[in-house]
Chain A
């Protein structure tokens, strides 16, 4: 576990020193969400109707935007090589890196989401469920995203490639995340959707570190 905390600490320290990355993700999220009222018109009913979907899609895109930096800088300066050569399980180190990524991108998104919901005229009934759903969904996004980020190491134009790889895998999170909020807005219980999201999170938590570690080792060859 020492390795897990060590890498988490280091990545958080790096993120603090380069604070711009986190701010950029949230700014991107806010800007994308803000585009929709301009696109579909300012009618309050329409905005309220599409609010949950818009917030989730924007969050997905914002999370994806930050993926490239999970491994890229470590890969370029040789740190990733040394992480692979550490006498610690690589899967555990990757879990630490993913947690750091989530804390610096997923968490700020969750905090910004209710603000966007207010802007889009979403009914207050949906706020709590929106945040709970994002609490379950965004870690899964980071975990799935890490696989994509590791697979594109060494590829040119990795940014575009990672979106093609990862976005299709984000669809289940999107469906159930937006579905949970919809249910809450209609006054139905959202338990089923949230349970499925929790299942997705557990599944990715179990599988993603191994897939990512494999991809990282492949990139070292």
Chain B
């Protein structure tokens, strides 16, 4: 039974505070759907969970252990699908997928790639070079990557972009079977993806106006200086 949680996460991008005070928790078989307007920080949160971004404050835990303590282990159990498909135009789909399988140390890689291609119904594209793929086919190849090798956590950022209705249904099925095997899926989507009773995390609830946040930071700084020096000036307290 795996357990993935985050407590009091704050994300700062550039000068802008994207969200603050966000907590979540998920156990094996759970799905979390991220919702929120554009710029609410869905992608940022997924990148944070993947370990691409460091939170400004707060911590992410896997089975109670901070993921920052052992990044390689976290990368090993996580499959991340971002906005980009990472398909090289001059390599075939199979060669494209092979690298990611090798990096995960997958045994019997060719069979694993075959299974992934079958699952996404793109076996006929195995020897087609990336440049001749349509955007939907590229997206499906990228999804095939997620299926290669063992993983416990899927982070899918808008996985349905470019997919037709049929592929969306397939994706929903893949998610369902991954959950049945004890995986955790966290995803953001703009269309309805047929996932059974996902927990909904609305990022709009965690938006913090910058002014409030700065004031809070100031208070914290003041508190610290109060503790540091026993005599605090009356001006600072005001």
- Report which A residues bind B (CB closer than 8 A): 2-3, 5-7, 10, 13-14, 17-18, 77-79, 81-89, 93, 220-221
Q: Can you offer 27 A-B residue contacts whose CB atoms are under 8 A? A: A2-B103, A2-B105, A3-B102, A6-B99, A6-B102, A10-B99, A14-B90, A17-B90, A17-B91, A18-B90, A77-B86, A77-B87, A79-B88, A81-B52, A81-B84, A82-B80, A82-B86, A85-B50, A85-B52, A85-B80, A86-B75, A86-B100, A87-B72, A87-B73, A87-B75, A89-B72, A93-B103
Bound Cα distance A2, B78 (Å): 19
> Closest residue of chain A to B142, judged by CB?
A78
| B83 part of interface (Cβ distance < 8 Å) | yes
- In contact, A78 and B84 (Cβ under 8 angstroms): yes
- In contact, A7 and B85 (Cβ under 8 angstroms): no
Bound Cα distance A93, B99 (Å): 12
> Closest residue of chain B to A83, judged by CB?
B103
CB-CB < 8 A to B78: which residues of A?
A: 85
Which residue of the partner chain, among B90, B91, B103, contacts A6 with CB atoms under 8 Å? B103
| B104 part of interface (Cβ distance < 8 Å) | yes
B83, B87, B90: residue with the most chain A Cβ atoms closer than 10 Å: B90
> Closest residue of chain A to B151, judged by CB?
A87
> Closest residue of chain A to B83, judged by CB?
A78
Majority-rule SS of A interface residues: helix
B107 CB to closest chain A CB (Å) equals: 11
Bound Cα distance A81, B46 (Å): 13
Bound Cα distance A174, B143 (Å): 47
What count of chain B residues pass the 8 Å CB interface test? 29
Given the contacts A81-B84, A221-B53, A87 and B103 also touching, CB distance less than 8 Å: yes
Which residue of the partner chain, among A6, A13, A78, A93, contacts B86 with CB atoms under 8 Å? A78
- In contact, B85 and A2 (Cβ under 8 angstroms): no
A6 CB to closest chain B CB (Å) equals: 4
A53 CB to closest chain B CB (Å) equals: 38
- Report which B residues bind A (CB closer than 8 A): 50-54, 72-73, 75-76, 78, 80, 82-88, 90-91, 95, 98-100, 102-105, 145
- In contact, B102 and A77 (Cβ under 8 angstroms): no
- In contact, B82 and A78 (Cβ under 8 angstroms): yes
- In contact, A79 and B90 (Cβ under 8 angstroms): no
Bound Cα distance A138, B207 (Å): 51
Bound Cα distance A81, B52 (Å): 8
Interchain residue pairs A-B with the least CB separation, the first 8: A78-B84, A87-B76, A6-B102, A17-B90, A78-B86, A86-B103, A79-B86, A87-B75
CB-CB < 8 A to B54: which residues of A?
A: 221
Bound Cα distance A3, B100 (Å): 9
Bound Cα distance A18, B85 (Å): 20
Which residue of the partner chain, among A5, A10, A88, contacts B72 with CB atoms under 8 Å? A88
A8 CB to closest chain B CB (Å) equals: 11
Bound Cα distance A133, B207 (Å): 59
Beyond A77-B84, A85-B51, A93-B103, 19 additional pairs, beta carbon < 8 A: A2-B105, A14-B90, A17-B91, A77-B85, A77-B87, A78-B85, A81-B52, A81-B80, A82-B80, A82-B100, A85-B50, A85-B52, A86-B100, A87-B73, A87-B76, A88-B72, A88-B103, A220-B52, A221-B54
